[in-house]
Chains A and B, each alone.
Chain A
Amino acid sequence: MIEVENLDFYYGQARALHEISISIPANKVTAFIGPSGCGKSTLLRCFNRMNDLVDIARIGKGCVRIHGVDIYDPDVDVISLRRQVGMVFQKSNPFPKSIYENITYGLEIQGIRDRKRLDEVVEKSLRGAALWDEVKDRLHTSGLGLSGGQQQRLCIARAIAVEPSIILMDEPCSALDPIATSKVEELIQQLKGKYTIVIVTHNMQQAGRCSDNTAFFYLGKLIEFAKTEKIFTNPSQRQTEDYITGRFG
């Protein structure tokens, strides 16, 4: 589904990723773990070319293929790529618009104005993000009036409204309390199967609870990538074991 081959990535002169090769399976949840600054978010942001926004960021060598297409090929339109690869950010960032407008934003920028269709998508996406029952009576109030956990689920609903095939989550629960976190995790369980989910997390319990596969990064290198159970019970690398057991990181 997502295939990374020998990827080197630089911020200016600093090398952030070293020869990463990983193959992320479709319709599964893959967790990226590792200490701060290990490159897991950088790699995630390579998948929807969010790194393009950073002036000094560049790919050294290697490639990222999604659905078999090298997404850094000059022929690739970054706009249509990002419609396929949705993203949920660390800090929930609903737009200061109504809940309804937040969901329809992705469609409206595609020029879809059909009211009936938009209504349908809003309901479907909010149901998909397990938020419908909580907000159905106040769709036209500001998205910023929601609680932190609801805001994050609104962002997930906004992402799935444009029907991507992949959803990238960059520490989606780091700013949430445990109850809100468990709701988002539940949601991730519901979404997998339909979407390929890649989640960056600092919380190893979270990786253990909700992912199928886990990749451990350290200092810009992919140390180990395996089934989550294996990583957490019987890692083959010493560094992984040290990190999992809390000896560093």
Chain B
Amino acid sequence: MNAPANPFIARKSSARTIEHVAFGFFRTATYFILICAAVIFGFIFVKGGQTVFRSSFPFVNVPFLTQAPETLYVFQYEGKKMELGDRAFRKFKEEHHSKDIPAESYVYSSGGIFPCIVGTILLVIGSMAIALFIGISSAIYLNEYSKQGKFVHFVRLAILNLAGVPSIVFGLFGFALFVMFMPMLQDFRNPAVLSLPVGFGHYLNFSGWNVCLLSGWFTLAFMALPVVITASEESLKSVPKGFREGSLALGATKWQTIRTNVLPYALPGMLTSSILGIARVAGETAPIMFTAAYVIRDKMPWQVDHPMDFFFQGVMALPYHIYVVSSKIPQNEYTERVQYGAAFVFLVIVMGIALTSILLRIKMRNRYRW
């Protein structure tokens, strides 16, 4: 008696082969992304880690994180090779009573990147505040108030287009509008530009805000707007219709409904996606190179004479500093340390922002769950 042949036995077929090939391709593509990310991060972490970390106590290169960039001097002294920053080198010369020791100088290769860290954080905070305020407001208008007609369709199209504008164009736009044109309230008439008297001896001079934090904030914020608006709209859409109807049916105004029964539930999603978007934009060099970033500045942002000056000062920023030390100065073994160190610190900051947004979401989600 023969056992009946297994009717489900696996057979080779072309469909099966194609299946294998197709999935193999998809899998390779996915792993390829993973490898790219691993290589980039690994490279920067290994190379940058050498600059930022130390093998002995305190294990972190404190001067690199707390000092301003300086010129590095490399010279021979009594047969020993010395590497000293600008200030240390001058002190060394005084102590040894020798006016001129022949030394090779490498710009920005000593000291640290503290002003850049501070500047980047200031740029991120300010542009985040502006982008969130304008972005969430317009998302509320588009999603809750406006009639879904041709005009809103057009606005959405404009937002999509804005997302596709190259960052250098944003930079030039910011330069033209904020740096060169925006009005300043001043107590003198500036004959070189459009100057409108506002009374009490004051004039609105359309002389621009110059290269400053404020210009950078707005430029970065405008660049982040498409992401913020789109993410905010998505979050608003995900709030169940029942909350709105329930509230309106109790005699709440539209704004009361939005404020108490829509926004609190949409906010976690809004903040997370928006902050991620802003962290992305904050890494851009092009928008700030015309509007907010200085190559080098001695004063720290809080060293201002008048509180208002705070907004009208340029700052150093990490992305721009990386750009400068990687392409605007002669390259050598000493500059490489700064490049990778700065890139490493920058990555950590951006990751920190992303992590904050994720923690924020988890915390807020737990508060409002439906």
Contacts and interface: CB of A to CB of B under 8 A. Distances in A.
Interface string B248-269: 1111110010001100010000
A5 B265 CA distance: 41
A86 B369 contact: no
B245 interface: yes
Nearest to A144: B370
Contacts of A83: 250-251
B245 A86 contact: no
Given A144-B369, A144-B370, A93 B250 contact: no
B251 A80 contact: yes
Nearest to A101: B260
A155 interface: yes
B250 A106 contact: yes
Nearest to B149: A55
B252 A109 contact: yes
A215 interface: no
A82 B260 contact: no
Contacts, number: 68
Contacts of B260: 105, 109
Contact of B251 (A53, A96, A106): A106
B250 A53 contact: no
B248 A96 contact: no
B247 interface: yes
Given A55-B148, A89-B242, A95-B261, A109 B368 contact: no
Given A55-B148, A144-B370, A95 B251 contact: no
Given A55-B148, A95-B243, A96-B368, A86 B261 contact: no
B147 A91 contact: no
B67 to A, nearest CB: 50
Contacts of B249: 48, 50, 82, 86-87, 89, 159
Interface string B233-249: 00000001011111111
A158 interface: yes
Interface in B202-252: 240, 242-252
B292 to A, nearest CB: 41
Contact of A53 (B246, B248, B253, B368): B248
A18 B13 CA distance: 62
Contacts of A91: 242
A50 B251 CA distance: 11
A159 B249 CA distance: 8
A79 interface: yes
B243 A93 contact: yes
Contacts of B240: 93
A96 B265 contact: yes
Given A82-B251, A96-B368, A96-B369, A109 B256 contact: yes
Contacts of A96: 243, 265, 368-370
A99 to B, nearest CB: 14
A49 B247 CA distance: 14
A105 B147 CA distance: 27
B141 to A, nearest CB: 14
A81 to B, nearest CB: 8
A53 B248 CA distance: 10
Contacts of A159: 249-250
Contacts of B370: 96, 144
Contacts of A24: none
A141 to B, nearest CB: 13
A158 B250 contact: yes
A105 B369 contact: no
Nearest to A110: B251
A162 interface: yes
Contacts of B256: 109
Contacts of B252: 79, 105-106, 109
A48 B248 CA distance: 10
Contacts of B242: 89, 91, 93
A79 B265 CA distance: 23
Interface in A22-50: 48, 50
A105 B260 CA distance: 9
Interface of A: 48, 50, 53, 55, 79-80, 82-83, 86-87, 89, 91, 93-96, 105-106, 109-110, 144, 155, 158-159, 162
15 contacts: A55-B148, A55-B149, A79-B253, A82-B251, A86-B250, A87-B245, A87-B249, A89-B245, A94-B246, A96-B243, A96-B369, A105-B247, A144-B370, A158-B246, A162-B250
- The 5 A-B residue pairs with the shortest CB-CB distance in the complex, in nearest-first order: A93-B242, A83-B251, A106-B250, A87-B249, A82-B251
